[in-house]
Amino acid sequence: MTDLTFPATPAPAAGPSVPGAAFYPGLDDWRELPIAQQPTWSDPDVFSSSVKELSALPPLVFAGEVDVLRSRLAQAAQGKAFLLQGGDCAETFEAATADRISARVKTILQMAVVLTYGAQLPVIKMGRMAGQFAKPRSSNDETRDGVTLPAYRGDIVNGFEFTPESRKHDASRMLRAYHTSASTLNLIRAFTQGGFADLRLVHEWNRGFTSNPAHSRYEKLAKDIDRAIKFMASCGADFEALKTVEFFASHEALLLDYERALTRIDSRTGTPYDTSAHFLWIGERTRDLDQAHVDFLSRVRNPIGVKLGPTTSPDDALRLIEKLDPNREPGRLTFITRMGASNIREKLPNLVEKVTASGAQVLWVTDPMHGNTVTSPNGYKTRNFDDVIDEVRGFFEVHQGLGTFPGGLHVEMTGDDVAECLGGADPVDQEAFLTGYESVCDPRLNHKQSLEMAFLVAGALGQNK
């Protein structure tokens, strides 16, 4: 991530409906469209001053980096690379600590090594990190013991604590989200550029995690990699390329006031980039073609993802392509399917077939989490590891059957030893939720389950070649 192309100063030209935001034709058209899942801010003055401040703050990512990512994703769409995208369902301000961020980055690096080694493919590493603060909810309210308050919508909107004060929609939280994203990204950049991600430290990334079957399997693989590196070193190979890792940031582009305020006009190309993250996706609940989210994201240059659930028709997919990727630009559009283990083998083939027949080349990624959420008998939102794995297998089977490329994995995971998803080789049971459940939103794979998943996917990808 070395191409630091700075964006132009926001132009004070006519048209911006938000003071300070860079004007660009069409960039505010979404304001006239129906929009789902937005907050009702409690104080309009705080909203105006927060958006104004955000609009003048430095970009979190740079246009040149975004362009690099687009070219990497284009490789994946052609079957020459694989995307690994992982992180919390909802990041929180409180958990943005060095320990937790580094554990997550290390886990993603470990998963990527397992995938690269097993599949012999370059792996694009991307966090659901440094900005994953806004959550769509199925209900506006939450009731506990007869008390009803606004639902938690992510730390960028309100607090998780169940009090009227905390659940108020407070626009100044957008500024805290920005600054938390900035410090998270700063640490990620230090880790991945400052020597820690050097492949020669492959053993180090396993340190501090408790021993378990996936851990030992990883140790064995790390030894093999060590041997290969030593062999290459003896042959005089130059290892400059192993020292640093490209790591990209992504989140759901849900809160459009925030995304719009961080959109800047790139000085090289004169086009808008949403500088809140390299990659942004549109959620299953906000992918309506005629509504605000699709319109806004159709106008920024970042690579865009769209979540596709089991009700997606081939026509929906084709119309999304037409709107979000009219020029059929390689790497621009990623479809992240989240069908559920019981649906994927039935629903995915038709979608992939019709999209492929249209001539479009999108990147197909599996999100095996969101179609497999259940409530445990003791009342926790959870997922069975077996269902998650079954959806991944189904995804690979469908693509293998059609001769298309299963290009990526999107998971909710953490580097911590939490108990939120059931099962795995060192099984988590529902009793463990009582002390080990930390997520404020959806359940995540813990460190062991994440590594186990990586080994399974590496096996499937290896067979796919």
Which phi and psi angles does 71 have, rounded to 5°? -70, -35
- Could you tell me the CA-to-CA distances from 377 to 97, 343, 429, 431, 433 in Å, in that order? 32, 23, 11, 10, 11
Q: How far is the CB of 284 from ligand PEP (least distance, A)?
A: 4
Cα 436 to Cα 419: distance, rounded to the nearest angstrom: 5
Task: Map residues 165-204 to x or -, x wherever contact with ligand PEP holds by CB under 6 A.
Answer: ----------------------------------------
Closer residue to ligand PEP, CB minimum distance, 1 or 249: 249
Task: Map residues 197-236 to x or -, x wherever contact with ligand PEP holds by CB under 6 A.
Answer: ----------------------------------------
Q: Does 415 bind ligand PEP (CB under 6 A)?
A: no
136 binds, among ligand PEP, Mn ion, none (CB under 5 to 8 A by kind): ligand PEP
**Residue 284 annotated in ligand binding:** yes
Task: Map residues 63-92 to x or -, x wherever contact with ligand PEP holds by CB under 6 A.
Answer: --------------------------x---
Closer residue to ligand PEP, CB minimum distance, 136 or 349: 136
266 binds, among Mn ion, ligand PEP, none (CB under 5 to 8 A by kind): none
Question: N- to C-terminal Cα distance for the chain?
Answer: 29
**Residue 278 annotated in ligand binding:** no
Closer residue to Mn ion, CB minimum distance, 95 or 352: 95
Q: Does 136 bind ligand PEP (CB under 6 A)?
A: yes
Q: Does 283 bind ligand PEP (CB under 6 A)?
A: yes
Name which position in 260, 301, 338, 447 contacts ligand PEP (CB under 6 A).
338
**Residue 89 annotated in ligand binding:** yes
**Residue 370 annotated in ligand binding:** yes
Cα 296 to Cα 313: distance, rounded to the nearest angstrom: 22
> What is the size of the binding site for ligand PEP (CB under 6 A)?
10
| List of E strands, 205-269 | 247-252, 263-265
Q: How far is CA 405 from the centre of its chain?
A: 20
| Residue-level length of the chain | 465
Cα 317 to Cα 320: distance, rounded to the nearest angstrom: 5
Q: Does 367 bind Mn ion (CB under 5 A)?
A: no
Task: Map residues 89-108 to x or -, x wherever contact with ligand PEP holds by CB under 6 A.
Answer: x-------------------
For residue 303, the 8-state DSSP code is -
Closer residue to Mn ion, CB minimum distance, 371 or 424: 371
Instruction: Report which of 164, 165, 135 is spatially closest to residue 152, judged by C-alpha positions.
Output: 135
Q: Does 436 bind ligand PEP (CB under 6 A)?
A: no
Q: How far is the CB of 285 from ligand PEP (least distance, A)?
A: 6
Cα 77 to Cα 283: distance, rounded to the nearest angstrom: 20
338 binds, among Mn ion, ligand PEP, none (CB under 5 to 8 A by kind): ligand PEP
Instruction: Report which of 99, 95, 157 is spatially closest to residue 130, judged by C-alpha positions.
Output: 95
Name which position in 100, 260, 370, 447 contacts ligand PEP (CB under 6 A).
370
DSSP string over 65-85: HHHHHHHHHHHHHTTS-EEEE
Q: Of 72-80, 85-93, 144-152, 398-406, which segment contacts Mn ion by CB under 5 A?
A: 85-93
Provide the 3-class DSSP secondary structure of residue 260. helix
Q: Nearest-5° angle of CA 108, CA 114, CA 117?
A: 135
Cα 301 to Cα 324: distance, rounded to the nearest angstrom: 10
**Residue 215 annotated in ligand binding:** no
**Residue 220 annotated in ligand binding:** no
For residue 5, the 8-state DSSP code is P
Q: Does 89 bind Mn ion (CB under 5 A)?
A: yes
Closer residue to ligand PEP, CB minimum distance, 215 or 285: 285
Name which position in 170, 284, 295, 438 contacts ligand PEP (CB under 6 A).
284
- Could you tell me the CA-to-CA distances from 280 to 144, 306, 419 in Å, in that order? 33, 9, 28
Provide the 3-class DSSP secondary structure of residue 392. helix
- Could you tell me the CA-to-CA distances from 132 to 56, 93, 184, 253 in Å, in that order? 21, 10, 11, 9
The footprint of Mn ion on residues 428-447 (CB under 5 A) is 442
Q: How far is the CB of 442 from Mn ion (least distance, A)?
A: 3
Q: How far is the CB of 338 from ligand PEP (least distance, A)?
A: 5
Q: Does 307 bind ligand PEP (CB under 6 A)?
A: yes
Cα 316 to Cα 171: distance, rounded to the nearest angstrom: 33
Is the distance from CB of 59 to CB of 275 less than 8 angstroms? Answer: yes
The contact set with Mn ion (CB under 5 A) reads 89, 442
Annotated binding site: 89, 128, 284-285, 307, 338, 370, 412, 442
The contact set with ligand PEP (CB under 6 A) reads 89, 136, 252, 283-285, 307, 338, 370, 442
Annotated binding site for Mn(2+): 89, 370, 412, 442
